[in-house]
Amino acid sequence: MFSSISLRQFGYLLLSLGCLVACKTSAPTTNVQSWPIKWDQERVQLSLDYMQEHYGMNPDYPIIDPQMIVVHWTAIPTLEASYNAFYDSRLPGSRATIGKASPLNVSVPYLIDQDGTIYQMMPDTLFARHVIGLNHCAIGIENVGDGNEHPLTEAQFNANVQLIRELVKKYDTRYVIGHHEYQQFIDHPLWKEKDVNYLTEKSDPGDDFMQRLRSQLSDLNLNPLPEKSAVQQGVAGQVRWYEGNLMPTITEGATDSPNRQGDPIQRTLRIYELTHRDEAVQKSQFFQAIQTKLVTEIATDSLGKFELSLPVGQYSLLVEEADGLFANQFDSEGNIAPFSVQADSITQINVRIDYRAVY
């Protein structure tokens, strides 16, 4: 087991020797070509920032504990363009959507060309951003191509089988998943994403590819995926309680910093048809006498988590409290805690109960 000092020394040793040496020394015995991407101090710091902001982790160096392998496609037609997409430490401006979550560029240890050649771009156990909620424990494999004009090839499939076998043997990883399956790990013990609204829909590499892959790896006795939620369209999320002084502090070395993440709490939620301020009586921070139709109500679990099937439409979500129904979000038109449900989609909501907090 590394001490915190030796982890730091190990990290800066990698920096001093360069990613090229690290890739060569950590490559599997399978024929793998070393082709390192940039691993500089900026990428180190961005990785550490990501781990802290999204996972609440504070390591000395961005190293992972591999417990799963995630298979992707690049959605880019050529090897060179795929490699270039991963090379820089910062995301390009064209990826503004995920850039809102972090400026850290995406990456994976392995890139497989359409002819089946495997390239290692970084060591297996360095932190790489490629799968929401699971980067802290996932080794990623990217395959050049997509599911349409540039489908994945049989050579790529065989290379994945060979590489994954070696990685499972090396790290005793228990899951092999497709990128499109990552949301099945929400609420799983491995899931660490703190922002319930940070989710993207993925289709790579598809059910057919993963079913074939797992069939070829069946002798490894991998763990099955968590069961899919019964809710396929509606709303899901978590309720958290905030209180006390949550104003920013600049006191150096303070040990009594407030809990800015809140505490999970069990509550009953009421879902109404979209409700305007004028359609309810407001007293202080609480609402009463809602005039719109109550669609349903649901009790969260002990950790404040909930999921609920709903028809396509617009709704308001309020929390039952002793003094009335609480909501603290409004849109520009004055609707109370509004959210929408789209066809075949689950809307993620982070509910904050903070009427006893000071900002």
Of 30-39, 261-270, 271-280, the range with the highest mean pLDDT is 271-280
* Mean predicted confidence (pLDDT) in 340-347: 94
By percentage, how much of the chain surpasses pLDDT 90? 76
Q: Is 351:265 a contact under the CB 8 Å cutoff?
A: no
* Mean predicted confidence (pLDDT) in 35-39: 98
Q: What are the residue ranges spanned by the domains of the chain? A: 4-220, 234-358
CA distances from residue 108 to 30, 123, 140, 338 in whole angstroms, order as listed:
17, 9, 5, 37
pLDDT for 195: 87
180 or 13: whose pLDDT is higher? 180
According to the CATH classification, is domain 4-220 in 3.40.80.10? yes
**How is residue 198 written in tokens?**
């940070």
pLDDT for 337: 97
pLDDT for 25: 43
pLDDT for 302: 87
d(CA 323, CA 198): 32
pLDDT for 96: 86
* Mean predicted confidence (pLDDT) in 63-91: 98
**Which pLDDT band, with edges at 50, 70 and 90, does 26 fall under?**
low
**How is residue 248 written in tokens?**
């920013």
pLDDT for 24: 44
Q: Is 3:60 a contact under the CB 8 Å cutoff?
A: no
pLDDT for 248: 67
pLDDT for 28: 59
pLDDT for 254: 47
pLDDT for 343: 94
pLDDT for 246: 81
pLDDT for 168: 97
By percentage, how much of the chain surpasses pLDDT 70? 88
Whether 146 shows a pLDDT value over 80: the answer reads yes
pLDDT for 259: 56
Neighbour count for residue 274 (Cβ, 10 Å):
18
Residue-by-residue DSSP string for 171-238: H---EEEEGGGGGGGTTSTT-----TT-------S-HHHHHHHHHHTGGG-PPPPPPPPS-SSEEEEE
**Which pLDDT band, with edges at 50, 70 and 90, does 135 fall under?**
very high
d(CA 357, CA 179): 38
130 or 232: whose pLDDT is higher? 130
pLDDT for 73: 98
pLDDT for 29: 60
Pick the CATH number of 234-358 from 2.60.40.10, 3.40.50.720, 2.40.10.10, 2.40.50.140: 2.60.40.10
**How is residue 11 written in tokens?**
């990290």
Whether 187 shows a pLDDT value over 90: the answer reads no
Whether 13 shows a pLDDT value over 50: the answer reads no
* Mean predicted confidence (pLDDT) in 292-307: 93
**How is residue 179 written in tokens?**
């990128």
Whether 22 shows a pLDDT value over 50: the answer reads no
| Strand 118-120 relative to strand 32-34, pairing | parallel
* Mean predicted confidence (pLDDT) in 11-34: 56
